Structure formats: structure tokens, C-alpha cells
Amino acid sequence: MVNIIDALVVDLDTEAVPREIRVGPYWTAVAVERAGELRGGLSTTMHNDAHPHVRPPVEKAGSLLGLTAEQLVGLARSSSLVEASIGMATINALLTVDEGACTEINAAEVIIREGAGKRVAVVGHFPFIPKVREAAKELWVLELRPQPGDLPAEASSEVIPQADVVAITGTSLINGTFAELMAQCRPDAYVIVLGGSAPLSPVLFRHGVNAVAGTKVVDVSAVMLAVSQAAIFRGLPGKRLLTMESGTGRP
């Protein structure tokens, strides 16, 4: 199976010029310029457990704008999760999103629509969990840092094969767990990848995904400023929440 990151970057326009990179405590944002147009992309800021004095989380910290767009994209394959976050934000900045193939419906609505009365597994603890719990026949929430009622992420191999609907956080593309989680899904399960890191690309449909609920940056300056001032997702201005479902995107 082709690595999902390799598949995502095949058609990216890496001739764009990186203009700005902000790595905040919660979100990472990258801005690129192509033909006079400034475009932005987001990613969750993820961290390894290693102490930064043992291994710097970003090898070229402070000089990243000296890299090409292609080199920044390559960071998505890094074992450093901070670097991988920068790489994923760059991918999202370079993507040409087919807005005609998207609807302004949020992930929670899709999960409830598909999962009402069914067994649902959600990888990642999202604010909409209580609403999904009310609609689903059974709900499992898998989380690296479990909250009350959640299951540890290691339980995915037991839970996901039982689920009719599986919602996978876009951060799985950053920490390298996407392929493993997809392999645990039943062939007939409805799978949605969601969150600010999720790339709005039909490439994911060729890897077994039915829907992608992601974010398009529409005001680059506003997003950059908010990210650098520790905004959480709800506090990020200048974004649109879009969902692309299989059958609506270009092959």
C-alpha cells in the first residue's frame, strides 16, 4: 500500500514559495505564495515525549523559510512530531481544494447522520462527543490521553472492527497511525477523517475513507496571528469548515 503522505503530495504545486510559518502551542500554520496568491494551511501541533534539550524538535528552527515548499512538505515524514506538524500544515496550504465538491457541514453532523442507532468509534476526544453518544447505539472514544469514559488508544484493535462508523482524527496522518487504524476498519464501515489537520483531498478516498471533514484557511493573516497567540480551534478566525464526501471529489 502506498504511504498516505506520499500519495497526498504527488499532485501538490511545490513551486509555491513559503512566506510564513507559525508554530503555536496548539496549532501550526504555514503560508505559501503562488502567482501572487497567499494560501494558508493548518495542522495540530504535536510533540514527542523526548525532552527538547535531548533532541531539538525542529532541526532548522529559526531558518525554516530558507527551505523550499518541497522540503517543508518532506517534514511530514519526520519522526519529530513538531516537524511533521509543519509538513502537514504545508500540505494543507498547497492543496487546491475543490470547493464545489465540498459542503459546509461539520463532522459531528456527518457522524450523527451515518451513526444514528449504530456502533460508532471515534479516534480522538472531540467536543461533540456527548451529541454523538445520544444518537449512537454504542459509542467508543479512543484517546492517547483518555478522559473519563474514554478508552486508551491501544484498545483500537478490539473496538474499531466492531464499529459501523469510524471517525479518525487527522492527527493520525502526523503521528503515523493512519494506516494501522484504517486496516482495523471493516470493509463495510463508513470512515470519516476529521479535524483541522485533515487534508481536503480526494486522495483519501482511494485509501478507504468515505468523507473528510477539514478546514480551509480563508484569511491567512488572521489565522497566523491567532495561532501565534495560542488560539485553540474554536478561537481561530479566518477559517471555513468543509466536508468532502466520496463520489464528490475528483478521482
- Residue 251: the pLDDT is 38
pTM for the structure as a whole: 0.94
The residue from 99, 130, 145 where one domain ends is 99
Q: Residue 116 pairs with which residues in a beta bridge?
A: 136
- Residue 248: the pLDDT is 54
Lowest mean pLDDT among 80-89, 126-135, 241-250: 241-250
User: Do 91 and 115 reside in the same domain of the chain?
Assistant: no
User: Do 28 and 109 reside in the same domain of the chain?
Assistant: no
CATH of the domain at 34: 3.30.390.100
User: Do 119 and 193 reside in the same domain of the chain?
Assistant: yes
What is the extent of the structural domain holding 176?
102-215+241-245
CATH of the domain at 155: 3.40.50.11590
Q: Is 51 exposed, middle or buried (0-12, 13-18, 19+ CB in 10 A)?
A: exposed
On the question of pLDDT at 1 being above 50, the answer is no
Residue 226 lies in a domain: no
- Kindly indicate the confidence band of residue 18, based on its pLDDT and cuts at 50, 70 and 90: very high
Task: Let me know: does 213 contact 241? Beta carbons within 8 Å.
Answer: yes
- Residue 54: the pLDDT is 65
> Grid cell 472492527 — which residue?
161
Q: Report the domain count for the chain.
A: 2
User: Do 86 and 113 reside in the same domain of the chain?
Assistant: no
56-74: average pLDDT: 95
The residue from 78, 99, 120 where one domain ends is 99
The residue from 99, 125, 147 where one domain ends is 99
159-167: average pLDDT: 98
Q: Residue 216 pairs with which residues in a beta bridge?
A: 240
Residue 83 lies in a domain: yes
On the question of pLDDT at 51 being above 90, the answer is no
Residues counted in the chain: 251
User: Do 198 and 152 reside in the same domain of the chain?
Assistant: yes
User: Do 200 and 109 reside in the same domain of the chain?
Assistant: yes
Q: Which residues contact 100 (CB under 8 A, 6 or more apart)?
A: none
Distances (CA, A) of 100 to 104, 108, 249: 11, 21, 8
On the question of pLDDT at 90 being above 60, the answer is yes
Q: What percent of the chain has pLDDT over 90?
A: 90
User: Do 77 and 157 reside in the same domain of the chain?
Assistant: no
Q: What is the pLDDT of residues 26-50, one digit of tens each?
A: 999 999 999 899 999 999 999 987 6
On the question of pLDDT at 250 being above 70, the answer is no
User: Do 112 and 203 reside in the same domain of the chain?
Assistant: yes
Q: What is the pLDDT of residues 164-207, one digit of tens each?
A: 999 999 999 999 999 999 999 999 999 999 999 999 999 999 99
User: Closest Cα to residue 175, out of 26, 44, 31, 30?
Assistant: 44
- Kindly indicate the confidence band of residue 13, based on its pLDDT and cuts at 50, 70 and 90: confident
Q: Residue 166 pairs with which residues in a beta bridge?
A: 121, 191
Residue 61 lies in a domain: yes
User: Do 162 and 87 reside in the same domain of the chain?
Assistant: no
User: Closest Cα to residue 135, out of 117, 153, 120, 108?
Assistant: 117
Residue 177 lies in a domain: yes
> Grid cell 512530531 — which residue?
81
What φ, ψ does residue 164 adopt, rounded to 5°? Answer: -85, -30
- Residue 164: the pLDDT is 98
Residue 229 lies in a domain: no
Q: What is the pLDDT of residues 101-130, one digit of tens each?
A: 999 999 999 999 999 999 999 999 999 999
User: Do 89 and 36 reside in the same domain of the chain?
Assistant: yes
User: Do 106 and 211 reside in the same domain of the chain?
Assistant: yes
Task: Let me know: does 79 contact 113? Beta carbons within 8 Å.
Answer: no
